């Protein structure tokens, strides 16, 4: 054990900024991070033990206790609830002989729940020992647990029926499906050959300024949701002082209902890596880091081999494409399970081996980012798009989409529709168009842009997806009329944000939990109108949080109060403001009664 | 050294360029309330109470450096109401029983409660179950009172320059831990410094208490911020 720990630490040269990798590797080999392990890490890295612990305890997937030989992380996001996840939970608990949050008495099976794992189009899904199991049924669960009891390997548990496309790649062998329902003109156009853009740069003798110029002329904007112009970001980073510079690809898609990066990285990984390389060329960056969410650990071997292929083909490494002085290397940085790390400065903190707490700005990452050096953080889709823009020209790109929103958007569509999956469409489609495309009927609401976006009702289905109208990072969850919107959806999102707040800003840390309490009161029918008013009055308080997560964390509640007010009114109807309907005398005096009885 | 002019609530002010806005305002007799900020240690902007509007956009005054022509709104109703909310949220989020607290009268949270005439918080009391840690020979850590401002994390280091305190967990389970190793041989002075730096009564020095009786303490005598304001 000691040798394993120290070998891993040596592997990262005892560098405290690689703490995430050290923790991930050790846990992967030993199953958990014991007190002893943490002490060894602290000593070797020459940092206080609590410094190691503060990183360990921040991330969902790190554990100081053993979590079983087989560790099940069952997704608890909204969409699982649409597929009778309760039955799955019950079956797991019955077969494994322990409840969720625990390990079976023999230490064999641990059951845990986790936030969205990026499989909303094939729920219910779970991660078991870094491998994904989708479309779970009670029967499948019984077989899985029986297999565990028989001591089967994870490979044996997966069976031999793999998903489509590269999911079946021998290095991945995933049972995950792509579900690409609509291929667009940019990302999934199928006409990409690795090195296209790099060859174009060489043949057209484009300087880094030329690249930035074309990206600016294409007016491509960040696909992560905020929509910042990519060319401008690159230009600032190019001019920023400090060496070396870094390009991050943000593949930490944690917004519930989002899974597009998973499919892009499965089918077009070279497009992503080439995009990073182009960004590196434009900005003058020496290193690229793909920050990949821990949930996608099953892709690791596959993606590492792709990077090796590209290096072999001189698309990465030194003197790329025979261009002297053009050197660029990419490594993969895994996260540890924290939604907030999708925020770019939190992502950088995490990649430095720290807690994923967003930074104060200024300075912006383009000036002082990773290791205080100029850093560009781009979304997976943005980087892919740039490769196509360089290859085919900005004029071509500008013919797609709307005036203010050029190009296509890859949408992750899940929920109550016939064909959940990936749709790449030009900007400018209406919500109605999309509902038709996906075979959705009897729709009550659509959650646009995930929980941090907004929940809209039928009167807004005519709106179009575009930066100038309904801007979105790309997730649409379709909610049918048969769903209890407040209980099944809003309450789930409220719990999600309570769980995922980093806790640094006071309003976010406290109000995510407090609003969930009030929401529970409303759902139970014991709230009053003033409770609803109270939630609305918290909106401006939340706007003063440091990061996007905090600023939008009450959106599931606030947008449904705005768009589905009648559902709230029904819940509080007839409840008096004078008497607290939530007051429970028996519960309030339980301690006293118990004391008196003794 | 370059001096810049800036405006706070319509009042023309002057300070050194690049100075922290909280300090620059203080020089001009303008009090911007703070909780997580502490003079001389790197700011973190986590309590958000010093939020001001700069050209209409919210920013924390502790993490903002003053520049020429900056137009700042601070004591406006929207922000004063927000600040009161932050104080109320902190009272409702933890377990704060002022009458029994060694820091009463020297507590910045309590003082801000008075400043904003807090009566009953408009936020649900969470009554969290939190620990009181008494294992350390010189320090008592009362998690009930901790407002997680990170002052101790940022400001207290041992002779080797190593931190004594660090965050643990996240979200509403967030807490501040003491490192047994780095805090092992701390001096009485450092223990006192940790207690003094804590804006509330979450870090208490052991074996020495109530040296100044309640009623004669800092904020018993003058409201918080009154030393800054004209």
Q: What is the pLDDT of residues A207-238, one digit of tens each?
A: 999 999 999 999 999 987 778 999 999 999 99
Cβ(A413)–Cβ(A438) below 8 Å = yes
Contacts of A54 in chain B (CB under 8 A): 166-168, 177
Mark which of B22, B54, B75 sits at the end of a domain.
Answer: B75
Cβ(A56)–Cβ(A97) below 8 Å = no
Q: What is the CA radius of gyration of chain A?
A: 24
Instruction: Please name the member of B85, B162, B168 whose beta carbon is closest to the beta carbon of A541.
Output: B85
B207 vs B117, residue with greater confidence:
B117
Contacts of A537 in chain B (CB under 8 A): 122
| Cβ count near A442 (within 10 Å) | 8
Q: Is residue B18 part of a domain?
A: yes
* Distance between first and last Cα of chain A: 49
Integer angstrom CA distances of residue A279 from A233, A325, A377: 10, 15, 10
**Amino acid A598: pLDDT:** 73
What is the rounded CA–CA span in Å between residue A350 and residue A334? Answer: 9
Please tell me whether residues B42 and B125 are part of one structural domain: no
**Amino acid A495: pLDDT:** 97
**Tokens (6 digits) for B169:** 């967990």
Contacts of B58 in chain A (CB under 8 A): 543-544
Please tell me whether residues B29 and B103 are part of one structural domain: no
Average pLDDT, chain B: 96
Please tell me whether residues B18 and B60 are part of one structural domain: yes
Please tell me whether residues B165 and B122 are part of one structural domain: yes
B44 vs B208, residue with greater confidence:
B44
What is the rounded CA–CA span in Å between residue A127 and residue A289? Answer: 24
Contacts of A505 in chain B (CB under 8 A): 45-48
**Amino acid A453: pLDDT:** 94
DSSP string covering A317-369: BSSGGG-TT--BEEEEEE--S-GGGGSHHHHHHHHTTS--PPPPSSSPTTTS-
Domain that holds residue B201: 84-207
**Amino acid B208: pLDDT:** 84
**Tokens (6 digits) for A486:** 């407040």
How close is the nearest chain A Cα to the Cα of B171, in Å? Answer: 4
Q: Which among A509, A508, A510, A502 has a CA at the least distance from the CA of A341?
A: A502
**Amino acid A1: pLDDT:** 73
Beta carbons of B126 and A514 less than 8 Å apart: yes
Q: Is residue B143 part of a domain?
A: yes
What is the rounded CA–CA span in Å between residue A245 and residue A222? Answer: 19
**Amino acid A479: pLDDT:** 98
Which residues face A102 on adjacent strands? A111
* Element spanning A567, H or E: helix A565-572
| CA dihedral over A105, A107, A111, A112, signed as positive or negative | positive
Residue count of chain B, please give it: 230
Which residues face A229 on adjacent strands? A221
- The four Cα atoms B104, B106, B110, B115 give a dihedral, to 10 degrees, of 140
Contacts of A48 in chain B (CB under 8 A): 162-164, 166, 179, 181-182
What is the rounded CA–CA span in Å between residue A221 and residue A71? Answer: 40
Contacts of A51 in chain B (CB under 8 A): 163, 166, 179
Instruction: Please name the member of B58, B93, B166 whose beta carbon is closest to the beta carbon of A51.
Output: B166
**Amino acid A73: pLDDT:** 98
> Does the structure show a pLDDT above 80 at A61?
yes
Average pLDDT, chain A: 96
CATH no. for residue B90?
A: 3.30.70.20
pLDDT digits over B132-165, tens only?
Answer: 999 999 999 999 999 999 999 999 999 999 999 9
Please tell me whether residues B67 and B88 are part of one structural domain: no
Beta carbons of A541 and B174 less than 8 Å apart: no
> Does the structure show a pLDDT above 80 at A266?
yes
Beta carbons of B168 and A541 less than 8 Å apart: no
**Tokens (6 digits) for A588:** 């309030």
Question: Kind of pairing, strands A246-251 and A287-292?
Answer: parallel
Q: How confident is the model at residue A578 (pLDDT cuts 50, 70, 90)?
A: confident
What is the rounded CA–CA span in Å between residue A51 and residue A245? Answer: 27
Q: How confident is the model at residue A11 (pLDDT cuts 50, 70, 90)?
A: very high
Please tell me whether residues B115 and B174 are part of one structural domain: yes
Q: Is residue B21 part of a domain?
A: yes
**Tokens (6 digits) for A45:** 């890295």
Residue tagged 């991070």 (tokens): A33
Q: Which domains does chain A have, with CATH numbers?
A: 2-58 (no CATH), 70-161 (3.40.30.10), 182-397 (3.40.50.11540), 408-480 (3.10.20.600), 485-597 (1.20.1440.230)
**Amino acid A223: pLDDT:** 86
Please tell me whether residues B114 and B163 are part of one structural domain: yes
Q: Is residue B20 part of a domain?
A: yes
How close is the nearest chain B Cα to the Cα of A546, in Å? Answer: 8
Q: Is residue B100 part of a domain?
A: yes
Q: How confident is the model at residue A435 (pLDDT cuts 50, 70, 90)?
A: very high
Please tell me whether residues B31 and B69 are part of one structural domain: yes
Beta carbons of B47 and A501 less than 8 Å apart: no
Beta carbons of B58 and A518 less than 8 Å apart: no
CA B107 to chain centre: 9
Q: How confident is the model at residue A580 (pLDDT cuts 50, 70, 90)?
A: confident
Cβ(A2)–Cβ(A35) below 8 Å = no
| Cβ count near A371 (within 10 Å) | 14
Instruction: Please name the member of B51, B150, B168 whose beta carbon is closest to the beta carbon of A544.
Output: B51
Annotate A36-66 with b (16+ C-beta within 10 A) or e (fewer).
ebbebbbebbebbbbbbbbbbbbbbbbbeee
Beta carbons of A510 and B93 less than 8 Å apart: yes
CATH no. for residue B70?
A: 3.10.20.740
**Amino acid A597: pLDDT:** 87
Least confident of A186-200, A573-587, B75-89: A573-587
Beta carbons of B166 and A48 less than 8 Å apart: yes
How close is the nearest chain B Cα to the Cα of A319, in Å? Answer: 42
- State the count of interchain CB pairs (< 8 A) between A and B: 130
Instruction: Please name the member of B45, B89, B179 whose beta carbon is closest to the beta carbon of A511.
Output: B89
ipTM beyond 0.95? yes
> Does the structure show a pLDDT above 90 at A471?
no
Please tell me whether residues B48 and B124 are part of one structural domain: no
- Tell me whether the omega of the peptide bond preceding residue A363 falls within 30 degrees of 0, making it cis: yes
E-state strands within A208-349: 246-251, 287-292, 329-334
- Tell me the mean pLDDT in the region B203-222: 92
Beta carbons of A50 and B177 less than 8 Å apart: yes
pLDDT digits over A13-57, tens only?
Answer: 999 999 999 999 999 999 999 999 999 999 999 999 999 999 999
- What domain count does chain B have? 2
pLDDT digits over A269-280, tens only?
Answer: 999 999 999 999
Is B160 in a helix, a strand, or coil?
A: coil
Q: Is residue B16 part of a domain?
A: yes
Contacts of A541 in chain B (CB under 8 A): 82, 85-86, 89
Q: What is the CA radius of gyration of chain B?
A: 18
Q: From chain B, which residues contact A within 8 Å (Cβ)?
A: 43-49, 51, 58, 60, 63, 78, 82, 85-86, 89-90, 92-93, 122-124, 126, 147-148, 150, 162-174, 177-182
How close is the nearest chain B Cα to the Cα of A291, in Å? Answer: 21
Least confident of A288-302, A322-336, B205-219: B205-219
**Amino acid A511: pLDDT:** 98
Please tell me whether residues B102 and B18 are part of one structural domain: no
Beta carbons of A49 and B179 less than 8 Å apart: yes
Contacts of A502 in chain B (CB under 8 A): 170-171, 174
**Amino acid B146: pLDDT:** 98
**Amino acid A543: pLDDT:** 97
Contacts of A507 in chain B (CB under 8 A): 48, 85-86, 89
**Chain A residue with Cα closest to B91:** A510
Mark which of B57, B75, B93 sits at the end of a domain.
Answer: B75
Angle between helix A491-500 and A555-563 (nearest 10): 160
Q: From chain A, which residues contact B within 8 Å (Cβ)?
A: 47-51, 53-54, 57-58, 338, 355, 360, 498-507, 509-514, 517-518, 534, 537, 540-541, 543-546
A455 vs A581, residue with greater confidence:
A455
Please tell me whether residues B112 and B195 are part of one structural domain: yes
A305 burial type by CB count under 10 A (0-12 exposed, 13-18 middle, 19+ buried): middle
Cβ(A287)–Cβ(A329) below 8 Å = yes
What is the rounded CA–CA span in Å between residue A349 and residue A53? Answer: 15
| Cβ count near B14 (within 10 Å) | 12
What is the rounded CA–CA span in Å between residue A209 and residue A212? Answer: 5
**Amino acid A337: pLDDT:** 97
pLDDT digits over A507-551, tens only?
Answer: 999 999 999 999 999 999 999 999 999 999 999 999 999 999 999
> Does the structure show a pLDDT above 80 at B230?
no
**Tokens (6 digits) for A521:** 């009161």
Please tell me whether residues B113 and B174 are part of one structural domain: yes
Pick left, alpha or beta for residue A407 (phi over 0 → left; psi -120 to 50 → alpha; otherwise beta).
left
pLDDT digits over A140-184, tens only?
Answer: 999 999 999 999 999 999 998 999 999 999 999 999 999 999 999
What is the rounded CA–CA span in Å between residue A337 and residue A542? Answer: 24
**Amino acid A469: pLDDT:** 92
Q: Is residue B128 part of a domain?
A: yes
What is the rounded CA–CA span in Å between residue A305 and residue A303? Answer: 5
- Tell me whether the omega of the peptide bond preceding residue A362 falls within 30 degrees of 0, making it cis: yes
> Does the structure show a pLDDT above 90 at A365?
yes
Beta carbons of B169 and A57 less than 8 Å apart: yes
What is the rounded CA–CA span in Å between residue A364 and residue A367? Answer: 6
Instruction: Please name the member of B90, B126, B164 whose beta carbon is closest to the beta carbon of A513.
Output: B126
Note the pTM of the prediction, 2 decimals. Answer: 0.96
Contacts of A514 in chain B (CB under 8 A): 89, 92-93, 123-124, 126
pLDDT digits over B6-50, tens only?
Answer: 999 999 999 999 999 999 999 999 999 999 999 999 999 999 999
pLDDT digits over A96-118, tens only?
Answer: 999 999 999 999 999 999 999 99
Integer angstrom CA distances of residue A320 from A245, A275, A288, A313, A380: 17, 14, 14, 9, 21
Q: Is residue B136 part of a domain?
A: yes
| CA dihedral over A481, A486, A491, A497, signed as positive or negative | positive
**Amino acid B102: pLDDT:** 94
């Amino acid at each position: 054990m000691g040798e394993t720990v120290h070998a891993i630490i040596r592997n990262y040269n005892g560098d405290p900024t690689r703490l995430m990798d050290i923790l991930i590797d050790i846990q992967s080999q030993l199953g958990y991070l014991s007190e002893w392990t943490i002490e060894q890490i602290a000593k070797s890295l020459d940092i206080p033990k609590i410094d190691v612990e503060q990183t360990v305890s921040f991330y969902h997937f790190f554990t100081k206790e053993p979590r079983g030989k087989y560790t099940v992380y069952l997704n608890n996001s909204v969409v699982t609830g649409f597929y009778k996840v309760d039955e799955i939970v019950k079956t797991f608990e019955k077969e494994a002989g322990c409840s969720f949050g625990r390990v079976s008495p023999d230490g064999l099976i641990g059951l845990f729940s986790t936030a969205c794992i990026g499989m909303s189009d094939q729920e219910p899904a779970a991660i078991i020992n870094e491998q994904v199991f989708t479309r779970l049924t009670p029967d499948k669960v019984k077989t899985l647990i029986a297999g565990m009891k028989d001591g089967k390997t994870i490979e044996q548990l997966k069976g031999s029926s793999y998903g489509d496309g590269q999911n079946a790649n021998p290095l991945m062998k995933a049972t995950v499906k792509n579900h690409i329902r609509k291929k667009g003109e940019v990302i999934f156009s199928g006409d990409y050959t690795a090195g296209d853009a790099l060859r174009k740069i060489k043949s057209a003798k484009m300087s880094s300024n030329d690249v930035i110029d074309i990206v600016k002329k294409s007016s491509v904007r960040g696909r992560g949701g905020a929509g910042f112009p990519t060319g401008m970001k690159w230009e600032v980073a190019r001019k920023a002082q400090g060496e070396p510079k870094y390009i991050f690809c943000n593949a930490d898609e944690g917004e519930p209902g989002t899974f597009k990066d998973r499919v892009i990285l499965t089918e077009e990984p070279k497009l992503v890596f080439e995009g990073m390389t182009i960004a590196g060329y434009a900005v003058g960056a020496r290193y690229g880091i793909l920050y990949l969410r821990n949930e996608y650990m099953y892709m690791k071997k596959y993606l590492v081999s792709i990077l090796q292929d590209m290096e072999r083909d001189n698309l990465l490494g030194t003197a790329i494409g025979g261009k002297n002085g053009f050197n660029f290397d990419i490594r993969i940085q895994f996260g540890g399970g924290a939604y907030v790390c999708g925020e770019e400065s939190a992502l950088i903190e995490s990649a430095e081996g720290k807690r994923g707490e967003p930074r104060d700005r200024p300075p912006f990452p383009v000036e002082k980012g990773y290791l205080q050096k100029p850093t560009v953080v781009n979304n997976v889709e943005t980087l892919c798009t740039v490769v196509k823009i360089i290859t085919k020209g900005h004029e071509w790109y500008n013919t797609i989409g709307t005036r203010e929103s050029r190009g296509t958007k890859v949408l992750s569509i899940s929920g109550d529709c016939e064909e959940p999956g990936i749709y790449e469409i030009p900007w400018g489609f209406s919500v109605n168009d999309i509902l038709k495309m996906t075979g959705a009927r009897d729709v009550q609401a659509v959650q646009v842009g995930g929980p941090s976006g907004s929940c809209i009702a039928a009167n807004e289905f005519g709106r179009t997806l575009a930066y100038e109208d309904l801007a979105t990072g790309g997730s649409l969850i379709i909610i049918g009329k048969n769903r209890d919107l407040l209980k099944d959806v809003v309450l789930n999102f409220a719990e999600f944000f309570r769980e995922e707040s980093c806790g640094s800003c006071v309003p976010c840390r406290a109000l995510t939990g407090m609003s969930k309490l009030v929401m529970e009161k409303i759902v139970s029918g014991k709230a009053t109108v003033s409770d609803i008013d109270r939630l609305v009055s918290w909106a401006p308080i939340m706007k003063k949080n440091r990061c996007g997560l905090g600023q939008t964390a009450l959106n599931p509640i606030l947008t449904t109060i705005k768009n589905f007010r009648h559902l709230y009114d029904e819940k509080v109807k007839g409840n008096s403001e004078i008497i607290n309907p939530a007051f429970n005398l028996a519960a309030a005096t339980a301690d006293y009664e118990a004391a008196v009885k003794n | 050294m370059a001096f810049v002019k800036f405006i706070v609530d319509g009042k023309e002010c002057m300070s050194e360029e690049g100075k922290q806005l909280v300090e620059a305002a203080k020089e001009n007799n303008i009090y911007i309330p703070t909780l997580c900020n502490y003079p001389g240690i790197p700011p973190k902007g986590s309590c958000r109470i010093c939020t001001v509007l700069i050209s209409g956009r919210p920013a924390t005054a502790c993490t903002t450096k003053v520049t020429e022509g900056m137009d700042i709104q601070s004591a406006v109703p929207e922000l004063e109401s927000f600040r009161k909310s932050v104080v109320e949220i902190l009272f409702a989020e933890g377990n704060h029983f002022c009458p029994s607290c060694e820091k009463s009268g020297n507590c910045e949270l309590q003082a801000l409660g008075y400043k904003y005439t807090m009566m009953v918080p408009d936020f649900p009391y969470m009554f969290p179950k939190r620990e009181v840690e008494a294992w350390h020979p010189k320090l008592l850590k009362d998690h009930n009172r901790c407002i997680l401002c990170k002052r101790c994390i940022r400001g207290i280091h041992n002779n080797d320059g190593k931190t004594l305190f660090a965050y643990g967990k996240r979200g509403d389970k967030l807490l501040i831990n003491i490192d047994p190793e780095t805090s092992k041989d701390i001096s009485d002075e450092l223990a006192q410094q940790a207690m003094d730096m804590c804006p509330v009564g979450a870090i208490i020095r052991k074996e020495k208490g109530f040296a100044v009786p309640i009623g004669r303490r800092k904020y018993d005598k003058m409201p918080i911020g009154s030393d800054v304001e004209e």
